[in-house]
A and B are shown apart, each in its own frame.
Chain A
Amino acid sequence: MSSSSVSETGGPNFVRPNFPVKSSARSHRNQAIMVSLLIGCALVTLGTTVGIIYMLIKESMGFFAGDDINLWEFLTGTKWSVGRTQGKFDYGIWPLLSGTLRITAIAMILALPLGLVTAIYLSEYAPKSVRAILKPTLEILAGIPTVVLGFFAVKFITPNLLAPLGEFKTFNATAAGIAVGILCIPLVASLAEDALRAVPRTLREGAYGLGSTKLETTLKVIVPAALSGIISAFLLAVARAIGETMVVALAAGSSPTFTMDPRGPSQTMTGFIVHTFQSESVVPGTPGYYSIYAVAALLFLITFGITLIGQIVRMRYREEYN
């Protein structure tokens, strides 16, 4: 009251309050500090990425610098025995790459349809009460440590589900693929559901207004409208499956095989890295040691490529609703 004159009615008058004004310099300084802090945090991510890429390139250069190693044989060879027989070895990536592809394919056969159908059910059909149970269940599934899933593959999937179906080895590509698939279901379901839910309500109304049933609305309007999001969810799941390590290291075995047979063991690129890193026979500076980096670099290139394609699909085919 002391800082204001008295209005006609006797109360305080705040038409021009004359309280002391705060210096704006402080606000400006805080602003500057915050901005540099934010830039700093963003740079950490960028720096880490650049650092990893640099390391991968540098160390795999070490691999290809070897006298009897060339890039072409690495990319096309179908025999891999690096790190086992010192001195004499084969370094064709295909046994590892095919192991990765085999397991990824099995995982996707399971995860893509199941994930998509779950997403459709959650977003279009599930009543609130079911959703309230199903969503957290999916999140729990997503939170299961991969090492547990690897265990589950060896100790449950192979003996209980696969053994009755045929001659499956203790460590085999199918069990590992199923476990990786289970791992990817929540990812696909949750990303695809986001995409479906983002379809504007007006499109649903339009379809209903023309006499569509719920199923027709979902399949003919909502899913096509969300297609770019669904495809990028699929691609992210593929990248996840390719990069998955713990499950395959445990359940897929450690023999690099170039085969289509899903019943036998098959080492993947990630599995190879883990197994080789742990084995004591690998001495830094030897081709066996450097091969880890070459495989890692290729793995990085593949997942990077898929992520990139996912981004492009999302950008290009995203529907612009006004």
Chain B
Amino acid sequence: MKDEPKMDNVATPKKTHGMLKPKRPTLSQRNDASPEKNEQKLAIRLEDFNAYYGEFQAIKNINLDIMARQVTAFIGPSGCGKSTLLKWINRMNDIVPSAWAKGSIRMGDLEILKKQTDVVSLRRRVGMVFQKPNPFPKSIFDNVAFGPRLHFKIGKQDLAALVEWSLRKAAVWDEVKDRLHKSALGLSGGQQQRLCIARAIATGPEVLLMDEPCSALDPASTARVEDLVYELREQYTIVMVTHNMQQASRCSDRTAFFFEGEIVEEGETEQLFTRPKHQKTEDYVSGKFG
């Protein structure tokens, strides 16, 4: 924990755009703000957002506010557009040739959907954790160091400190500290996924997108990742897609229920699960379909 302020100094962005200067508050600022946690800050605002794959409209006219330093869960049956939406927040859909979107996704002053938006610095600010753990076939250290080496002018010592900090933060340090220079592919699935989380937070993102991060993990590993998600929300805005409704109710603050490309209901997780306003939500969270 004591390393954190240092990290904020180390993480000097290499590729700064005039308009994209990191706006992330330092830790001390954050701590000052924490007593008034109820005063929620807006992280990302989606307005009239529509997404398509060729002719097919995957998301229909969504309006949604994602709050800073909270876990927002997207739930809904397969094919309802929740993963598509997640991938638009860091423009991962750019690599899908048929995908296009209209409307607005704003993060602070940055309009994410704009063509000129620099996806390299966007993705530094909006990290992503994938469904299947996807460590690179490199050493554990090199996996975590990958993002920092891309984005920062960083010395050897600082890099080592940043890697250690990230691995600690992702609750995997104790398991890997003796084998940092061994291949990451030798880790268990759960360890790999926590490594991928460490890799994602090493670039100092404000937002973490998680696309069903536990769907390929066993129950014990799932519990560890869920605990981690819960802790990480102190410093990161987390948006998580999940198929698992218990998971959404266990570790999210707010939940959005998607159905056929639309948000049926969005609200405090507890309210949405216990007193849903819509019949469809109630049917889904009670397991009547999905």
Contacts and interface: CB of A to CB of B under 8 A. Distances in A.
A224 B185 CA distance: 14
Nearest to B121: A211
A209 B137 contact: no
Contacts of B146: 207, 210, 220
B90, B124, B132, B136 pick with most chain A CB within 10 angstroms:
B136
A207, A208, A212, A216 pick with most chain B CB within 10 angstroms:
A208
B1 interface: no
A208 B150 CA distance: 11
Interface stretch (B22-30, B195-203, B239-247, B271-279): B195-203
A205 B203 contact: no
A213 B120 contact: yes
* Interface of chain B: mostly helix, strand, loop or mixed: helix
B82 interface: no
Interface of A: 200, 202-213, 216, 220-221, 224-225, 319-322
A200 to B, nearest CB: 7
A212 B138 contact: no
Interface in B181-220: 185, 189, 196, 199-200, 203
Interface residues of B, number: 28
Contacts of B200: 209-210
Contacts of A224: 136-138
Nearest to A127: B97
Interface of B: 90, 92, 95, 119-124, 127-128, 130, 132, 134-138, 146-147, 150-151, 185, 189, 196, 199-200, 203
Nearest to A206: B134
Contact of A211 (B95, B138, B147, B196): B147
Given A211-B121, A212-B150, A206 B136 contact: yes
Given A209-B127, A210-B124, A225-B136, 8 more contacts: A205-B95, A205-B128, A206-B136, A206-B196, A209-B128, A210-B199, A211-B122, A322-B189
B95 A204 contact: yes
B127 A210 contact: yes
A322 to B, nearest CB: 7
Contacts of A210: 123-124, 127, 146-147, 150, 199-200, 203
Contacts of B136: 203, 206-207, 221, 224-225
A209 B120 CA distance: 9
A202 B132 contact: yes
B137 A319 contact: yes
A213 B123 CA distance: 11
B90, B130, B146 pick with most chain A CB within 10 angstroms:
B146
Nearest to B137: A319
Nearest to A211: B123
Contacts of B151: 211
B92 A208 contact: yes
7 contacts: A203-B134, A205-B134, A207-B146, A208-B92, A209-B123, A213-B120, A225-B136
B136, B137, B185, B196 pick with most chain A CB within 10 angstroms:
B137
A78 to B, nearest CB: 45
A200 B131 CA distance: 13
A208 B128 CA distance: 9
A290 B27 CA distance: 82
Contacts of B138: 224
Contacts of A321: 137, 185
Nearest to A228: B137
A209 B136 CA distance: 12
9 interchain residue pairs of minimum CB distance? A211-B123, A209-B128, A202-B134, A319-B137, A210-B147, A206-B134, A211-B124, A211-B120, A225-B137
